[in-house]
Structure 1
Amino acid sequence: MVSSFVRQLAFLALPYLLGRAVQEVVADGRTDRLAWYVAVLATVVLVEFAGLCGWMMWSNLAEARLAAGLREDVLGVVLDTDDAALATRTDGYGDTLSRAVEDVDVVLVWVHGLATWVVIGTTVVVLVPSIAGIDPSLLLVALGCAALLLVVNLTLPPRFARRIGAFAQAQASRTRTVEELTSAYATLRGVGGEAALVRRHDARSADVTERIVAVARIRSLWAASGEAVPFAGIAVGLAVGGLAALDGRMDVGQLTTFTLWMGTVQLATNAIVARLGDFGAARVSAERITAVLELGRPRDSAGAPAPGAATDHAPSLALTGVAAAGAAPVTFTLSPGDWGLVTGPTGVGKSTLLRAVAGLSDHTGAIRWCGAEVGRIPVAERFEQIVLVPQAPLLLHGTVRDNLLLAADPSAGPPPSDARLREVCRTAAFDVVLEALPDGLDTVVGERGSTLSGGERQRLALARALLRDTPVLLLDDVTSALDEETEHLLLDRLRARTDDRVVLFAGHRPAVRSRADHVVELHPTEVVARG
């Protein structure tokens, strides 16, 4: 703020000094003053440059800090919120991504421009008395421009805010459609359904185009009004100032200063228009971001465990009266080395129960790890204790190495060695696949792992989870796409590597059931525990 104030004072001083130089050196013929004015103007330019550098540096720092903080907060809420709750505030994956990227960017533009209000305020405080001192009639011209701009800025911003809100919704809808198109295209192509997805994408793209044209129409009218009014003021001011100069009430230097200052008034006016536009867009985006941040579940400070509390008790995973997705309550305890299996008919809530154990889904009853309620363990610490491999794991467009290293903690030191990566791949029975890949760990797996089969994607996701090396491993039907031979190989290797871990499966594969120490059969109205 101080830097922008200093910069604007220097910027406003330049027209005054230049006007005096024109009057004394050119009009009055005092050429001996030329060197002095050149030195003073050069000094003021350097001061302005220094102020501008400070202004940009601090604005960029504030923008970067806010960007990191907002995106970290949004990501934390998304990771700590179950899908059902997230769906009440967002319109799917695409909309959530739009809030974390485009909406945050819009807010950052507004934050970056906050110091501009110091510039605008300085301009008003300096120019109002200065222009009045030259000629009161010129001040009336400036006030007339301000009145017209006030009318423009009272009528157009509400319309702009409505248009930008509609555009944001349309953009989020198209983003979701693109995500659906890229993820489901290969599947639907086999049954001839790709045309429907393309048509839906085209329709939503057309809606985005219509909305952005409406936004551009309002913004162009707004911006054009912001420039036309000051230009008209300059024309009127030159006419008034010219008559005053002819009457001897104003010298050439003052007329020069006024003309240059009116250019500054135009810049300030454009800045006001831009900042008000940024505010309208930022308010809409801030509301969309806030809708996600409000999903962050409040922690009861009296009942919340202190950092590290999850390791203060004997290690065990205990579920007491836990019910999720309408299934009957479940009660069981697993200790390190135990394999548990939650099984039952399709749709009974096996996957939801595992998500509840991971702290990602609402439930009744109590889920405790090492004596601490899982839902109250800080998110970062919980991720160090519990890892979930979903039935349909997410792989990113990149190499095998890239996808494995998603589980590595960059703050823990250098990344895992190739030997460590190959070790977890072997445990997950992915080593045979790895050997057959043309570039091994550096083989690109395509969008969402599209170059791999379903079973290969499951095994790569399991290897990634093993790299995390957490004491609790939650596996949601991770062998459902494997043949019997590969499944037995994977389970035997996994058993040998999890003597000190709690492993909880969800599924109904006989090979998993035969190896489980505890089996819990879920039914909508009853739970049968064995083992």
Structure 2
Amino acid sequence: MTETFAAQTDSADLRARPGAGAQLSEQISEAAARRTKSRDVRPLLRLVPYALRHKGQLVMASLWLLASTAASLGLTATARGAIDNGFKDGGSQLNLWFLVLGANALFLGLATAIRYFYVTKSGERVIADLRKGLFERILTLDPSFYAKMRTGEVLSRLTTDIALIETLMTTSVSYAIRNALTLVGGTILLFIVSPKLTAFVLLIVPVLIVPLFVFGRTVRKLTVRSQDRFAGAVGFAGESVDAIETVQAFGREASSIARFGQAVEEAFGVSLIRMRARALMTALIIIVMFGGVTLVLWLGAQDVIAGRMSTGALLQFVLLSVFSAAAVGALGESWGDVQKAAGAMERIDELMRSQAAIAAPPVPVTLPEPPVGQVSMTDVGFTYPGRPDLPALRGFSLTVRPGETVALVGPSGAGKSTVFRLLLRFYDPQSGVVSVDGVDVRDADPVAVRNRFAWVSQEAPLFSGSANENIRFGRDTASDAEVREAAREAQALTFVEALPEGFDTPLGERGKSLSGGQRQRMAIARALVRDAPILLLDEATSALDAESEQLVQMALDQAMETRTTIVIAHRLATVLRADRIVVMEDGRVVEEGTHASLITQGGLYARLADLQFRVT
């Protein structure tokens, strides 16, 4: 019981958020913001619509919650009856009363089990709905949102914050309601059994609560300070492990270990102060609690001797006092869970209320069928969010005809990759028009627009699934034969078949079990199996060796024959095969033509060709 009282002061856990930054001051400021929000429990009201979807489960959980609480308090009455009546007439009724007591205990066990099932089922169902809804919202938010919020912060809300709410919905709510009912029912029964002793108990309560509030607040503050410092340490550790090759390559193991150790020692120092404060508080609680219990029992014993109270009534009073005291302590602990869950729900609701800047119009225009494979950008001006003084495109215009291959060439920062992002409608331009197959992309459904493209990015991100799953990510309806053919065309078939389980071999997180060139060939296979009319290649062969590049380029040439293709490339092989070369600088088109004509002009392309391709 003492530990139950004390546990409420140490309810803040030390779990660090996944992907947290390494800067300690940033961690502490974020934690302080979360604590400010957690004082307001109103965000939890946003769970009500999810809960009301399962009214039947909630009704059953409530009924059995009442039944288990009544059975719990009923134990005190049956125990009193067994003591007061079981020994009368030579114990003739003893067996009957203990049979009643056993039946009460049996019903309590069954009611508690059924209550647990329905409460947990209802809570898990609500959390499942919330988790699905949150992930759905996350995937609909556009890149401009993620430019302002770190991915680790988003994942923290999907994991750690959801876990806090799950604890509340599956355990703490039931626990709190049951203890509240126990406290109310127990207090009423205490007054019925002995108003005098109940009055003494109520006099002890303020004396018990004072150290809880005085020391409890101090302990909670110290716990949070320790949590903040430890979260910073774990965040730094996560970054160090994620970049382990960089840490080792620069010989920073010792400094990283020292930095982590310093943060851990700071957290330990705060925890040491917290432990001393809690130890003192625990001592005060024990002295007050058991001193008060001893006094009340002594007064009760005097009443029993004087005949003012039966032995069974004293036993019932003691049991009710224990139940009520435990309920008070448990409610304090549950309140801590409620506050943590409220703060978590505030963070989750922030995501749920976020609106994607890129969304389908109320009545989207249907793209023509069959696909034409034409793209056009007219006088487009675009600036990335957060960079208003650095326009990425300035009056940019480009038209790519069906089946044409156009290469975008220019120095870094010219705006080449921005063209792809606007075509895929990750962003909308501030001025000008971007159209696909003659339809302004802002008038169409973004999903329909993106279905017209197969994109191979320079980073070639993969997933932790199998090779089969990674290729089929381009088109989940692709047959095994089509997956195999795409791998063959991308020159990936040989190394995939050499994997331990072939196409079913898991590739590890981000495909790290593969080399850079292998990952890029897998990304090309994924684009080829998509069978989209427009192919976007962003340095698609940059990570390949000369031999693999030649083989993959042959596959891409074959794929480009039947598709409209836009290529961002610095390598001469790709540029030479383009029908047109568009040279960009500072977000504008500065030159346009074939390789030979641009070399003859002696402009920017000729200089780039001389520097990058070594062409004279």
TM over 0.5: yes
Output aligned runs, 1:170-185, within 5 Å.
173-174=232-233, 176-185=235-244
| In the alignment, structure 1 residue 523 sits paired with structure 2 residue 585 | yes
Q: Distance in 2 between matches of 1:406 and 1:212?
A: 48
Cα distance, 1:40 vs. partner? Answer: 6.2
Partner of 1:266: 325
The one-character-per-residue Cα deviations of 1:490-528 (angstroms, maximum 9, x if unpaired) are 243234346665544434333333344565433225224
The one-character-per-residue Cα deviations of 1:380-432 (angstroms, maximum 9, x if unpaired) are x67756564432233345653454455565xx7xxx65434322212322123
CA contact (8 A) 2:165 2:344 kept: yes
Output aligned runs, 1:129-208, within 5 Å.
129-144=188-203, 146-148=205-207, 151=210, 173-174=232-233, 176-203=235-262
TM-score normalised by the chain length of structure 1: 0.80
Q: 1:328 aligns with which of 393, 399, 413?
A: 393
CA contact (8 A) 2:140 2:356 kept: no
Cα distance, 1:131 vs. partner? Answer: 0.5
Q: Distance in 1 between matches of 2:403 and 2:273?
A: 62
Q: Distance in 1 between matches of 2:223 and 2:405?
A: 53
TM-score normalised by the chain length of structure 2: 0.70
Question: Compared with structure 1, are the counterparts of its residues 51 and 191 closer, same or farther at alpha carbon in structure 2 (3 Å cutoff)?
Answer: closer
SS at match of 2:503: helix
Partner of 1:284: 343
Q: Distance in 1 between matches of 2:533 and 2:278?
A: 56
| In the alignment, structure 1 residue 62 sits paired with structure 2 residue 129 | no
Question: Compared with structure 1, are the counterparts of its residues 62 and 476 closer, same or farther at alpha carbon in structure 2 (3 Å cutoff)?
Answer: farther
The one-character-per-residue Cα deviations of 1:73-126 (angstroms, maximum 9, x if unpaired) are 2564266232x6435344xx4444333222221222122222233213322331
| In the alignment, structure 1 residue 50 sits paired with structure 2 residue 116 | no
The one-character-per-residue Cα deviations of 1:137-161 (angstroms, maximum 9, x if unpaired) are 2322443454356546655776677
Q: Distance in 2 between matches of 1:360 and 1:175?
A: 33
The one-character-per-residue Cα deviations of 1:37-66 (angstroms, maximum 9, x if unpaired) are 514641563255235423433334423432
Partner of 1:251: 310
CA contact (8 A) 1:3 1:52 kept: no
Partner of 1:354: 420
Q: Distance in 2 between matches of 1:375 and 1:220?
A: 66
Partner of 1:105: 163
Q: Distance in 1 between matches of 2:455 and 2:219?
A: 44
CA contact (8 A) 2:81 2:97 kept: no
Partner of 1:10: 71
Question: Compared with structure 1, are the counterparts of its residues 285 and 249 closer, same or farther at alpha carbon in structure 2 (3 Å cutoff)?
Answer: same
Question: Compared with structure 1, are the counterparts of its residues 23 and 148 closer, same or farther at alpha carbon in structure 2 (3 Å cutoff)?
Answer: same
Q: Distance in 2 between matches of 1:300 and 1:398?
A: 29
Name the Cα RMSD after superposition.
4.1
Q: Distance in 2 between matches of 1:146 and 1:310?
A: 72
Question: Compared with structure 1, are the counterparts of its residues 213 and 422 closer, same or farther at alpha carbon in structure 2 (3 Å cutoff)?
Answer: farther
Question: Compared with structure 1, are the counterparts of its residues 438 and 98 closer, same or farther at alpha carbon in structure 2 (3 Å cutoff)?
Answer: same
Q: Distance in 1 between matches of 2:131 and 2:283?
A: 34
Q: Distance in 2 between matches of 1:232 and 1:406?
A: 68
Cα distance, 1:345 vs. partner? Answer: 1.2
| In the alignment, structure 1 residue 512 sits paired with structure 2 residue 564 | no
The one-character-per-residue Cα deviations of 1:355-380 (angstroms, maximum 9, x if unpaired) are 3443445642454556364698467x
Output aligned runs, 1:376-525, within 5 Å.
377=445, 388-397=455-464, 399-401=466-468, 403-404=470-471, 409=476, 418-443=480-505, 445-468=507-530, 473-497=535-559, 503-517=565-579, 519-524=581-586
| In the alignment, structure 1 residue 128 sits paired with structure 2 residue 187 | yes
Question: Compared with structure 1, are the counterparts of its residues 193 and 505 closer, same or farther at alpha carbon in structure 2 (3 Å cutoff)?
Answer: farther
The one-character-per-residue Cα deviations of 1:277-323 (angstroms, maximum 9, x if unpaired) are 2123223333443454454426788x3445x9567896554444252
Question: Compared with structure 1, are the counterparts of its residues 337 and 47 closer, same or farther at alpha carbon in structure 2 (3 Å cutoff)?
Answer: farther
Question: Compared with structure 1, are the counterparts of its residues 444 and 454 closer, same or farther at alpha carbon in structure 2 (3 Å cutoff)?
Answer: same
Q: Distance in 1 between matches of 2:428 and 2:224?
A: 31
Question: Compared with structure 1, are the counterparts of its residues 313 and 341 closer, same or farther at alpha carbon in structure 2 (3 Å cutoff)?
Answer: same
Question: Compared with structure 1, are the counterparts of its residues 206 and 108 closer, same or farther at alpha carbon in structure 2 (3 Å cutoff)?
Answer: farther
| In the alignment, structure 1 residue 241 sits paired with structure 2 residue 300 | yes
Output aligned runs, 1:19-30, within 5 Å.
19-26=80-87, 29-30=90-91
Q: Percent identity?
A: 26
| In the alignment, structure 1 residue 275 sits paired with structure 2 residue 334 | yes
Q: Which amino acid aligns with 2:127?
A: L
Q: 1:34 aligns with which of 83, 95, 112?
A: 95
Q: Distance in 2 between matches of 1:456 and 1:168?
A: 42
Output aligned runs, 1:218-237, within 5 Å.
233-237=292-296
Aligned residues: 520
Q: 1:80 aligns with which of 121, 126, 141?
A: 141
Question: Compared with structure 1, are the counterparts of its residues 429 and 219 closer, same or farther at alpha carbon in structure 2 (3 Å cutoff)?
Answer: farther
CA contact (8 A) 1:81 1:295 kept: no
CA contact (8 A) 1:474 1:504 kept: yes
Question: Compared with structure 1, are the counterparts of its residues 279 and 166 closer, same or farther at alpha carbon in structure 2 (3 Å cutoff)?
Answer: farther
Q: Distance in 2 between matches of 1:194 and 1:427?
A: 43
Question: Compared with structure 1, are the counterparts of its residues 345 and 313 closer, same or farther at alpha carbon in structure 2 (3 Å cutoff)?
Answer: same
SS at match of 1:527: strand
Q: Distance in 2 between matches of 1:216 and 1:287?
A: 30
Structure 2 regions of 5+ residues with no counterpart? 1-61, 385-390, 594-616
CA contact (8 A) 2:180 2:327 kept: no
SS at match of 2:541: coil
The one-character-per-residue Cα deviations of 1:164-199 (angstroms, maximum 9, x if unpaired) are 765666566555544533443234534434555555
CA contact (8 A) 1:354 1:506 kept: no
Question: Compared with structure 1, are the counterparts of its residues 182 and 367 closer, same or farther at alpha carbon in structure 2 (3 Å cutoff)?
Answer: farther
Point out the structure with max Rg over C-alpha. 2
CA contact (8 A) 2:187 2:324 kept: no
